[in-house]
Amino acid sequence: MRLFLVRHGETSWNRAEIFRGRIDVKLNEHGVEQARRTAAILSALNLAAVYSSPLSRALETARYIAEPHRLPVIVEDGLTDLDYGKWQGLTHEEVKEQYVDLYRLWNTAPHKVRFEEGESLEDVRRRALEALDRIAARHNGQNVVAVSHRVVTKVVLCALLGLDNSHFWHIRQDPCAVNVLEYSDRHGFVICRLNDTCHIKPFYKGMETIDF
């Protein structure tokens, strides 16, 4: 199986650096264009299925990708975003002021953080890998897309590289980045491409992409 693991397109909360998590934020104008461009580069593939997190920003992205292939989008709860608990809906500055110690820990040792009323990176890693295993079991030898979130993709990539979650900040994932994984019974998942954004770089025209 070849799995195209895609981060969703941009939302207004990405630009404003507001923690999203399980709050359902839709794509902004840039995000829609990113999703369309991502769909265009994947349109030539013979896709067997398109999976998505249940959140709108991922579902919208997945629907653009699925449309040329006339495929339904299959919701996979294991791909949903990290639950930031009480941080959700707050800006970086608000979190920095209200949760001084936890914010410092998040930026220096993210693997040690469990969000109050939320999740840890290990929780996300476990459920996301279980979701990918379920997808792989259904699609032997096929091309599949899975649309998810920055945190989910980063902890999955850490796992596949044999890294623990302390390396979370060492991997970048931009909006609508495409990661290509190949699965075999012999080796499991192998990373073939990481954070590919060539398809959306012309759209930015010098504007910085964002890993948030």
Predicted confidence at residue 24, as pLDDT, reads 97
Catalytic residue of the set 8, 30, 69, 199: 8
**For the domain that residue 156 is a member of, what is the CATH number?**
3.40.50.1240
Q: Which amino acid is at 101?
A: D
Average pLDDT over residues 161-181: 97
Closest CA to 150 of 20, 2, 12: 20
Catalytic residue of the set 30, 69, 139, 149: 149
Which residue shows structure tokens 């991997």?
Answer: 171
- Contact (Cβ atoms closer than 8 angstroms) between residue 125 and residue 149: no
Q: How many domains does the chain have?
A: 1
- The residue segments making up the domain with residue 55 are 2-204
- pTM greater than 0.85 (yes/no): yes
Determine, yes or no, domain membership for 212.
Answer: no
Determine, yes or no, domain membership for 108.
Answer: yes
The mean pLDDT value of the chain amounts to 95
Determine, yes or no, domain membership for 106.
Answer: yes
Q: Is 149 a catalytic residue?
A: yes
List, for residues 63-107, the tens digit of each pLDDT value. Answer: 999 999 999 999 999 999 999 999 999 999 999 999 999 999 999
Determine, yes or no, domain membership for 210.
Answer: no
Q: What are phi and psi of 120, to 5 degrees?
A: -110, 165
Average pLDDT over residues 8-36: 95
> 3-state class of 183 per DSSP?
strand
Q: Is 8 a catalytic residue?
A: yes
List, for residues 126-138, the tens digit of each pLDDT value. Answer: 999 999 999 999 9
- Contact (Cβ atoms closer than 8 angstroms) between residue 180 and residue 107: no
Buried/exposed 99-137: b ≥16 CB within 10 Å, e otherwise = beebbeebeeebbebebeebbbbeebbebbbebbeebbe
Query: How far is 194 from 4, CA to CA, in rounded Å?
Result: 10
Torsion of the alpha carbons at 195, 200, 205 and 209, rounded to the nearest 10 = -40
Determine, yes or no, domain membership for 211.
Answer: no
